[in-house]
Amino acid sequence: MHNTQLIRFKRHTDEYGSLTPVEAGVDIPFDIKRIYYIYDVPPDVMRGFHSHKNLHQVLIPLNGAVSIRLKTPFEETDVHLDKPYEGLYIGPNIWREMYGFTPGSTLLVLASEYYDEADYIRCLNVYKNTYPFTQNGDIK
C-alpha cells in the first residue's frame, strides 16, 4: 500500500542461533528518536485505530505474530507480521488497526519522533475528511 513497506533485515544464523541487526538510516528510513513495545495483549483485543500526521514508524514482531490493517480513504490491506527479521514501515497519513496478537507476543516499534498526542488522528471520520491526497495521489 501507498506509504507503507515491508522491510526485510539481515539475519546472521548459525548453530548458536540467529541475530538481526537494525541500523537507523541503513535499514530504517529515518532517524530513530523513540522506541516502545506492545506486549501482554489479551486475545481478541484490537489496538490502534488512528493515523499520524507526521510520524514515521517501523513495527517489528520480536516474537509471536500480529496482524495490521492499513487503510486510506481509497485502499485497505492486511499485513501479517510473524518474522523477527521483517518490519513494517508505516508513513504519515495511514490509518492502522492491530489485531490477532498471539499469546506472549511482543511488537517492537521504532519511531521517528518523540511521543506527541497532537500528532494523532483518532477519529476515522476526521481522518477521512482531512486526508491530504486525492485518489491518484495528488495533493488536494
Taking the least distance from each CB to ligand T46, the nearer of 6 and 19 is: 6
DSSP summary character for residue 124? H
Q: Is 69 in the site for ligand T46 (CB under 6 A)?
A: no
The closest alpha carbon to 23, from 1, 7, 2, 6, belongs to: 7
Which of 96, 100, 101, 112 touches ligand T46 (CB under 6 A)?
96
Q: How far apart are CA 15 and CA 32, in angstroms?
A: 32
Catalytic residues: 50
Q: Is 47 in the site for ligand T46 (CB under 6 A)?
A: yes
Q: How far apart are CA 75 and CA 137, in angstroms?
A: 12
Q: Is 32 in the site for ligand T46 (CB under 6 A)?
A: no
- Would you tell me which residues interact with ligand T46 (CB under 6 A)? 34, 36, 38, 47-48, 57, 59, 96, 109, 115
